[in-house]
Amino acid sequence: MDVDAERAQFGDDRGVARAVVQAAEDGATMVSMSLAGENRSPLLDDTNDSFIQQGGVVIAAAGNDGSARQLSPAADPKVIAVTGTDQNGE
């Protein structure tokens, strides 16, 4: 199942949260988010928490610039953070 928040006009925090809820309602057990931002979203945090409490797994981009800064939603300790860099840390 594929729920594309951006193509479905869900491009802000509310839209991404709606997409997570829709995925859960459709029976998804895993959500992968290829997005990251400097600011935490309480709405998205709560939605992810609810999804995880229902047995789901949330995976999110942590950024690919080699920095140690924590981006949301991957900064949440309950979310699996994924990143990538080359051999030079870039």
Instruction: Tell me the three state secondary structure of residue 38.
Output: coil
pLDDT at 11: 63
**The length of the chain, given as a count of residues:** 90
Q: What is the CA radius of gyration of the chain?
A: 13
Taking alpha carbons only, the member of 66, 62, 71 closest to residue 41 is 71
Cα dist from 12 to 7, 37, 78, 89, whole Å: 12, 11, 21, 30
The token pair at 58 is 């949330």
Q: Please, which pLDDT band fits residue 7 given cuts at 50, 70 and 90? A: low
Read off the pTM: 0.82
pLDDT one-digit tens code per residue, 17-30: 999 999 999 999 99
